Amino acid sequence: MTRNVFTLAAVFVAFAGGMVMSRVNDRAEDLEVTDGTALHAPAANLSQARTPSTPAGLAGAGAAGLPDLSSIAERAIQASVNISSTQQVAVDPFFQMLYGDVPQSQTSMGSGVFVSPDGYVVTNSHVVGSRRADIRVTLTDNREFAAKVVGIDPESDLAVLRIDVKGATPLPWGDSSKLRVAEWVLAVGNPFQFNQTVTLGIVSAQNRHDPQLATYNDFIQTDAAINPGNSGGALVNSRGELVGINTMIYSRTGGYQGIGFAVPSNLVKRILDTLVKTGEVIRGSIGNLRYVTVTADQVRNAGLGNQGGVYVQGMYKSDPAYAAGIRPRDLIISFNGTPVNEQSQLQRMIADIKIGSTARVEILRGGERRTYEVPVVQMAPPR
């Protein structure tokens, strides 16, 4: 079946008012994010936190020759939490005309995992939604706590919360770069509000950055069952280490079809440390461009040239890229000398470049190569 970036549905696996939140055709989630002051925590390097290593033989072979992961699952459950986020949403104008200015709220349900003994929790930004949301965190012993939002990073779909609890039991960090295809992993979370659910699968791909996903991250792909409500939950390897945060699924039904995606732990640690220290992640930008990955065949068929790259669908005249000379219908083929093959690759390169520097962007316009020097500005932070 031919791949088409315009037909894939990537489903974020958190509940929102009983409905699955999905992203189709590279459209961002319609989540209200409001202004708020970041809650600064001590600049501790939480990614260095460790719990005692898993005893040798903990994941030994069971009677059927498969690994016995029961002890690991018990530890992963103790480190996992359920999260509910309630926030005000825009009222339909027709409803408002009939009933007046009646406040409307929406509650999403997801999962999270402790990353320090003093109450720091990592989850997905689409589970939290807004800094002003009312966040409640429920532990495995059914204690419920109000949570403070330490920071939200929609680009990586990660958020950090903190609750007033001592003696939490975080999982040790695993090195996601060392994952191997077909390695056993467990997914822990709150699917369909069935608390503390554990599912088993394998790593299907280590660094999935397929252009169909069109996101900032490289993902761990797994066939462990992930469903609505699993968002923000732990992906754990057979040594009991946290190797990822479950984020979304590929699905035509909204439910499990054997293709799930998790943010790798190495990226989670980096975002976690930054959010705890500063409350936000600063990234580079060349403007609010809308673009999509195109193949060489698509470019040839459109009469735009003979090479694939990233097609600029639209932009604002206030964008630095526009001021530098880039226009809609241009095809970006290299960035600072590195060939550009897909949207997510370009997003990462732009985001990681130093603010205030100048980027060299090579484009094809009507089959003609042109190069522009584009100033890099700070990406606007989430509101």
Q: Is 157 a catalytic residue?
A: yes
Which candidate, 174, 201, 171, places its Cα nearest to that of 78? Answer: 171
**Catalytic residue check, 209:** no
Cα–chain center distance at 359: 26
Active-site pick, 80, 85, 125, 126:
126
d(CA 72, CA 85) in angstroms, rounded, equals 28
Closest C-alpha among 187, 172, 167 to residue 69: 187
Question: Catalytic: which of 231, 265, 285, 334?
Answer: 231
The one-letter code for the residue type at 348 is R
Active-site residue, selected from the candidate residues 157, 218, 223, 330: 157
Cβ atoms of residues 228 and 20 within 8 Å: yes
Residues carrying an active site annotation: 126, 157, 231
